[in-house]
Amino acid sequence: MGQVRFAACGAAGLLALALAGSSASEFQNRTARENDLKAVFLFNFTQFVQWPADAFADVSDPFVIGILGDDPFGSTLKEVVAKETVGKHKIVVRHYQDVRDIANCQMLFISPSESLRLNHIFEHLRGRSILSVGETESFLAHGGMIRFLLVGNKLHLQINLETAKAAHLTISSQLLRQAEVLGPAPRKQ
Partner 1 sequence: MNSNAAIRTEGEARKSVRFGSRRDPRTSLILIVLLTLAVPTYAETNENYQASELKKLSLEQLFEMQVTTVSKKPEKLSETASAIQVITAEDIERSGASSLPEALRLAPNLQVAQVNSHDWAITARGFNAAPLSNNSLADKLLVMIDGRSVYTPLFGGVFWDVQNVLLEDIDHIEVISGPGATLWGDNAINGVINVVTKSARDTQGLYVAGAGGSFLQDFGGLRYGGSVNSNFFFRLYGQRFDREHTDLPNGDSAEDAWDMTQGGFRADYYPSDDNTMTLQGDFYGGDEGTPTVTLVDGQNVLGRWTHVFSYESDLSVQAYYDRTWRNLPGASFSDNLKTYDIDLQHRFPLGERQSIVWGAGYRLMRDEVNNTAALSFAPENRNLQLFNIFLQDEITVIDERLKLTLGSKLEHNDYSGFEVQPSARLAWTPTTRQTVWAAVSRAVRSPARFDADEVTPFITTPQHEFDSEKVIAYELGYRARPFDKLTFSLAGYFNHYYDLRSVDLNAAPPPALVFANDQKANTWGVEVSGNFQATSWWRWRGGYDYLHEDISATSAAVVPGSDTFEAIDPRHQFLIQSMMDLPAHFQFDLVGRYAEALQATALTPRVPSYFTFDARLAWQFKNWELAVVGQNLYDNQHPEFGALQIPRSVYGKVTCRF
Q: Does residue number 18 form part of the binding site for partner 1 (CB under 8 A)?
A: no
Residue 112 touching partner 1 (CB under 8 A): yes
In the complex, least distance from residue 132 CB atom to partner 1, rounded to whole angstroms: 16
Q: Is 16 or 53 the residue whose CB approaches partner 1 more closely?
A: 16
**CA–CA dist 133, 47 (Å, integer):** 15
What distance lies between CA 172 and its chain's CA centroid? Answer: 18
Please, is 184 exposed, middle or buried when counting C-beta atoms within 10 Å of its C-beta (0-12, 13-18, 19+)? exposed
Q: Is the dihedral of CA 61, 67, 68, 74 positive or negative?
A: negative
Look at strands 49-50 and 170-171 and give their pairing: antiparallel
C-beta of 129: minimal distance to partner 1 in Å? 23
Using the contact rule CB under 8 A, the part of the chain among 23-31, 87-95, 123-131, 160-168 near partner 1 is 23-31
Q: Which of 138, 146, 81 is nearest to 114 (CA)?
A: 138
| Residue 128 contacts residue 167 (beta carbons within 8 Å) | yes
Nearest CB to partner 1, comparing residues 23 and 60: 23
Instruction: Tell me the residue length of the chain.
Output: 189
Residue 166 CB, shortest distance to partner 1, in Å, is 24
Q: With respect to partner 1, which residue has the nearer C-beta, 153 or 189?
A: 153
> Which 121-180 positions form the footprint of partner 1 (CB under 8 A)?
135-137, 149-156, 174-175, 178
Within 43-102, the residues that bind partner 1 by CB under 8 A are 43-44, 48, 70-72, 74, 76, 79-80
Site for partner 1 contains 11 (CB under 8 A): no
The 10 Å CB-count burial string (b at 16+, else e) for 147-159 is bbeeeeeeeebbb
Nearer of residues 62 and 134 to partner 1, judged by Cβ: 134
- Partnered with residue 156 across adjacent β-strands are 149
The residues of the shown chain that bind partner 1, judged by CB under 8 A, are 1-2, 5-6, 9, 12-13, 16-17, 19-37, 39-41, 43-44, 48, 70-72, 74, 76, 79-80, 111-116, 135-137, 149-156, 174-175, 178
